[in-house]
Amino acid sequence: MSASPPVLPDQVQTTRHRRRLLTVAVFPTLLTLGNLICGFAAIHYASKPIGPSNIFGWSTLTIAGSLVFFGMLFDAFDGFAARITNSASEFGAQLDSMADMVTFGVAPAFMVLRLVSYYYGGPDHYTGILGPDAEGVYGKIIWGVTAFYICCTALRLARFNAEVGSTDEADHRVFRGLPSPGSAGAIASLTLLHQHLTVIRFHEVPPDGFEKTSALILPLATVLCSFAMISRIPYGHFVNRYLRGRHSFAFVAWLMLPIAFAVWWFQVALAVAFCGYALSGPLMVLRRLRPSRAAITESE
């Protein structure tokens, strides 16, 4: 009887990679898939002709932006459900990143591309989607900006999965780089604000220059959010850092101000909150640099 040949390390590694996934956590998985469906629905509504819809009479881009925020709720609850049921797994982390790529990467980029395409040169002149084959240089640049945003989102999600290997709360109190939900929230909130001002506030007759200005602000915000995602700038996890645990009475009182502000000016408050969060990282870095500069001046 001949001895069996030795098992090579490459063969062991191949066998491990081919192991079958037998079970998955049902509730967290369904929540993650809900996030994915919200992203797909946001792209669907963003692709429709911009104008009032049969859903509360909202603009199609307003519905698309709202679906991005619904995706954030699913994204927040799936991680919470996985932790409380002790069912966090590598499968759940990979599925979550795929859903985030659609909802917080592709959907916001397509919304910006669709909005700028519609108002580029006026809605009567161009209603398609800007791309590499656009007539003007500006159209080509906008397509490149949104493509760059999608790439940065993918890099941000992949880096997070590679560097953060646990689901402990301590590993999620500070992020390196702007999280993709925060970036998508800034872009989606600016889109909601734009549609609110155009359709509701100005009654579809915006003042002169508003369309060109908005066509400049959104791509600019998209570029800044793209660089913030792939940077190493620290960003705090809002829920884990500010809403959990005990804080001073004054902190709770100050926290009520934006909530009261949102009751009357919801779209404005949403845009200010998410854009403020996107800027909080660079402002925190600048704040930490000030004492070191003062110390250098004193030493001189």
235 in any annotated domain: yes
Smallest Cα–Cα separation from 180: which of 266, 251, 262, 277?
A: 277
Structure token pair of residue 12: 């062991």
d(CA 29, CA 78): 7
CA–CA gap between residue 236 and residue 109 (Å, rounded): 24
In a domain, 237, yes or no: yes
Give CA–CA dist 92/9, Å, rounded.
28
- Helices 90-100 and 60-84: crossing angle in degrees, nearest 10, is 170
Please provide the DSSP assignment of 35-97 as one string: HHHHHHHHHHHHTSPSSB-SSTT-BHHHHHHHHHHHHHHHHHHHHHHHHHTT---HHHHHHHH
What is the CATH classification number for the domain harbouring 64?
1.20.120.1760
Q: Is 169 within a domain?
A: yes
**What is the model's pLDDT at position 192?**
94
Residue 223 pLDDT: 96
Nearest to 160 by CA among 104, 83, 110: 104
Q: Residue 257 is encoded by which pair of tokens?
A: 């101000």
Q: Is residue 6 part of a domain?
A: no
Q: HSE-up of 23 (CA within 13 Å, CB side)?
A: 5
Residue 240 CA: distances (Å) to CA of 89, 96, 230, 236: 20, 19, 22, 8
Tell me what pLDDT residue 240 has: 62
pLDDT tens, position by position, 37-92: 999 999 999 999 888 888 888 899 999 999 999 999 999 888 888 778 777 788 88
> What local confidence, expressed as pLDDT, does residue 50 receive?
84
pLDDT at residue number 55: 85
Q: Is 17 part of any domain? A: no
At CA 172, angle to CA 187 and CA 220, rounded to 5?
Answer: 20
Instruction: Quote the number of domains for the chain.
Output: 1
Assess if residue 18 is contained within a domain: no
Cα distance between the two ends of the chain: 84
Q: For residues 58 and 139, what is the distance between their CA atoms, to the nearest angstrom? A: 27
Rg (CA), the chain: 23
Looking at the DSSP bridge assignments, the partners of residue 175 are 235
Q: CB-side exposure of 149: number of CA atoms within 13 Å?
A: 32
Say if residues 39 and 108 touch (Cβ distance below 8 Å). no
5: in domain: no
Inside any domain, residue 93:
yes
Environment class of residue 284 by beta-carbon count within 10 Å: exposed (0-12), middle (13-18) or buried (19+)?
Answer: middle
pTM: 0.83
Which letter does DSSP use for residue 173 in this model?
S
pLDDT at 207: 77
Give the domain extent around 259.
25-242+249-299
Residue numbers of the chain with a pLDDT score lower than 50? 1, 12, 14-15, 294, 296
